[in-house]
Structure 1
Amino acid sequence: MTHNKWFPTLLVALFCNPLLNLTGEVSWPSFRGSDSRGVSQNPDLPMTWSEKENVTWKQTTAGRGWSSPIVWDETVFMVSVKSRGEVEAPIKGLYFGGERPEPSKNVHAWVVEAIDTQSGSIRWASTLHEAAPSSTIHVKNTYASETPVTDGKHVYVHFGYMGLYCLDWNGAIVWKHQWPPAAMRLGWGTSSSPILHDQWVIIVNDNEEQSWMAAYDKKSGQEQWKVLRDEPSNFSTPFVWENDMRTEIITTGVNKTRSYDLMGQPLWTIQGMSTICIPTPFADEKRLYVAAGYVGDKLRPNKPIYAIRPGASGDITLEEGTHQNQWIDWMVDNAAPYNPSPLLYQGRFYVLWDFGFFSARNATDGSEVYPKERLNPRGKTAFTASPWAYRDHLFALSEDGDTYVIPAGDTFEVRHVNSLNEMCMATPAMAGSKLFIRTLEHLYCIEEVRP
């Protein structure tokens, strides 16, 4: 009988890591999952759904919010803000004029909900703050657009305009930090989500007054360090890049994309990103991927995607007219999305464009696999949620609530469309065999019905 010497180690890893099992993620603790890539290996996740088909349950949300749901074991957490008065309906698409000169005068409640993943019943709802908002938001944005993060013991919630909260598993506030709101670009509001690394909660607060990044002890809430940033408003979530050489904190910014060490000290920078940065960085085993592509950018119309090697230091900005250097494996112009984060899956780098196009590149060298292809042949369709992947397919959720299902590979094809007929802007979550989709007013738990 042959014994595999790695088998005991594998068993220990599986039993000690509650995020993983043999078929895929059983928890989804943060925006786009534990590795920020939006990919699951679970073979039982659903391929088709509608308002009624494969819907395990549907729960009405406590209020508005474009933050993603997160999942730990059998609990899904969701953040919302509820107004006591009328709320202006969001308008789909990309357009100018969505800013509002004054905040709502209605009292709002900032609420965190814990929902049972099996039944959809609400285990608890915790109100963190009640007041009339002191800052404006874009008509499409909400006061709860930052996705929370959890370590399975506590839930960490960040509201860029207001503060950072740590809740225990029963919804009680363990500690909190509050700060006065800072002005954001055109009063559009905030969206950068918190991240966890080891014992720290890390947040980026880029604004029009004084931008900063800070790390807090996740148990006590004590500030560990804080660094000021020469940045205007940014909306991207930071990323912890654990590569073969070291661990880095990556932030995408209008002035510079920056890498920091774990004490907030700068390692390297790249200049010349888009004048609005939203997509979240992520990495594979060899490279870090960074993208930003504001659709209305006239000052910096290049909309770049970068693939970066570990180990860089100093200013690694490309010389004009070049597309690679010692640390940058490849850079492609006019290729980055505005709102959705790109998707890396099975060696290909996919981009979902806000106006409803989809493209693919080779992740190794950035070469084109297929160009922009229109998802909806009937015309323009707006997309904000980031795409995701499983079971050899890619999924793109439109603001209309339609999910376009695309086979992974070298040829573009829309296999079918799953419709919920309700506005969607939040990026879904996956845990076990369940897909969680947040719409304007509901949270869907979608699961394939099997005989």
Structure 2
Amino acid sequence: MLRSAGAIAVYFTVLLIMSSKLEPCGATEPAEANWPQFRGADATGVTRSTGLPDQWSATENVEWKSDIPGRGWGSPIVWGDSVFLSTVVNTGTTEPVKKGLYFGGDRKEIPTSIHEWKVLSLDLANGNVRWEKTIRTGTPTGSIHLKNSYASETPVTDGEHVYFCFGNIGLYCFDLNGEALWSHELAPHKTRNGWGTAASPVLHGNALYYVNDNDEHSTLLALDKRTGKKLWEVDRDEKSNWATPFIWTHDSATEIVTAGTGAVRSYDLQGKLLWSLKGMSSITIATPYVADGLLYVSSGYVLDPTKALYA
């Protein structure tokens, strides 16, 4: 089957293609010239490129399309002339996704069909697949919501290696040519209502950070990005969340800011809790970000009377 969310992934990729034509970038250029992680170089969702198209359709302002097998909600990332993304192929029958706001998407039964967890690299110029690797074949370790996928985490790159994450499965490091360098297993845990996982890993210095919030044992994990060796892991008094952490560097320090239903928490680079702030909504998905020197943290659920926004 073809990826059901193909339009979302492809149009995001095409937007970056248009950007690359205006501002060519190479593998040796800084992260700001690329799109190396979830929500871009600054993790704000804002590009510094100019002259981008402001409208497109199935044909207008489309440079190319590439069919990707399976299903994955994670964003593609770009470094130099390469696009990296992940997907999971169900060899059985996959229920079609419903659009719009609705309730009743819980699917608590774990599929019994064989799935294939894949990572890919595409040529930014034409969408051709440069390499494709299957990192796991088997049955899922848990269920997911109808609106979720088994590949909802966005990869991250430092320009030398690319790091992929599949929640409840593992973290995987490849070089840009597709050679597997190391992996770190993630023990499966139950998530709220069987909705699955979505938070993406982030990089800072020589460390890869991953927030694993679930209904059994939530933690913040730090790995050595060069070897995959665990640097530290701290427990979090949280249940299931889906928010990617944000690395906040300011004049005083660098902090790992995590959003959660229980509280917003900030840690130093060794995992020590610096501060916390309560008052979030009952479902936390949004990633914190910085604009004009202020840190913004938000959450919102359609049935909650309070939809928090803090700065």
**Does TM, scored on the shorter chain, surpass 0.5?**
yes
Once the two structures are TM-superposed, the CA of residue 136 in structure 1 deviates from its matched residue by 0.4
Matched, 1:288 2:301: no
The one of 182, 196, 200 equivalent to 1:193 is 200
Q: Which residue in 1 is equivalent to 2:29?
A: 18
Residue of 280, 284, 306 corresponding to 1:302: 306
Give 2:66's aligned residue. 59
Equivalent in the alignment of 2:16: none
Partners of 1:77 and 1:195 in 2: CA distance: 15
* Match of residue 41 from structure 2: 34
Q: Does 1:70 align with 2:53?
A: no
Do the aligned residues in 1 keep the contact of 2:27 with 2:79 (CA within 8 Å)? Answer: no
- Decide whether the 8 Å contact of 2:27 with 2:81 is kept in 1: no
The Cα of 1:17 is off from its aligned counterpart by 6.9
Distance, in Å, in 1 between the alignment partners of 2:207 and 2:274 is 19
**1:109–1:127 Cα contact (<8 Å) kept:** yes
1:15 shift after superposition? 9.7
Write out aligned runs for 1:156-175 (5 A): 156-175=163-182
1:172 Cα offset (Å): 2.3
- Taking the aligned partners of 1:266 and 1:306, their CA distance within structure 2 comes to 19
Deviation sequence 1:398-428 (CA, Å, 0-9, x none): xxxxxxxxxxxxxxxxxxxxxxxxxxxxxxx
Q: Which has the larger radius of gyration?
A: 1
Q: C-alpha displacement at 1:265, in angstroms?
A: 0.2
| Corresponding residue number in structure 1 for 2:87 | 80
Taking CA–CA contacts closer than 8 Å with sequence separation of 6 or more, which of the two structures ends up with the larger relative contact order?
Answer: 1
Equivalent of 1:123 in 125, 130, 133: 130
Measure, in 2, the Cα distance between the counterparts of 1:26 and 1:61: 25
Deviation at 1:218, TM superposition (A): 0.4
The structure-2 alpha-carbon separation of the partners of 1:15 and 1:129, relative to structure 1 and needing over 3 Å to count, comes to closer
Whole-Å separation in 2 of the counterparts to 1:94 and 1:48: 24
Counterpart CA distance in 1 for 2:211 and 2:27 is 30
Equivalent residue for 1:95, pick from 81, 99, 102: 102
CA distance in 2, matches of 1:125, 1:290: 36
Task: Give the whole-Å Cα distance in 2 for the aligned partners of 1:41 and 1:35.
Answer: 10
More helix, by proportion:
2
Give me the identity figure in percent.
49
Instruction: Structure 2: give runs of 5+ residues left out of the alignment.
Output: 1-24
More strand by share: 1
Cα distance in 2 for partners of 1:15, 1:70 equals 14
Letter in 2 for 1:133: P
3-state secondary structure, aligned to 1:186? helix
Please report how far the alpha carbon of residue 127 of structure 1 lies from its aligned counterpart in structure 2 after TM superposition.
0.7
Contact kept in structure 1, 2:27 and 2:159, CA below 8 Å: no
CA positional deviation for 1:94:
2.5
Q: 1:271 & 1:207 partners in 2: Cα distance?
A: 18
Aligned length: 287
- Specify whether residues 15 and 96 from structure 1 end up closer, same or farther in structure 2 by C-alpha distance, changes over 3 A only: closer
In structure 2, relative to structure 1, the CA distance for the partners of 1:197 and 1:67 (3 Å cut) is same
TM-score by length of 2: 0.89
Distance 1:172 1:106 in 2: 28
Give the superposition deviation at 1:16.
10
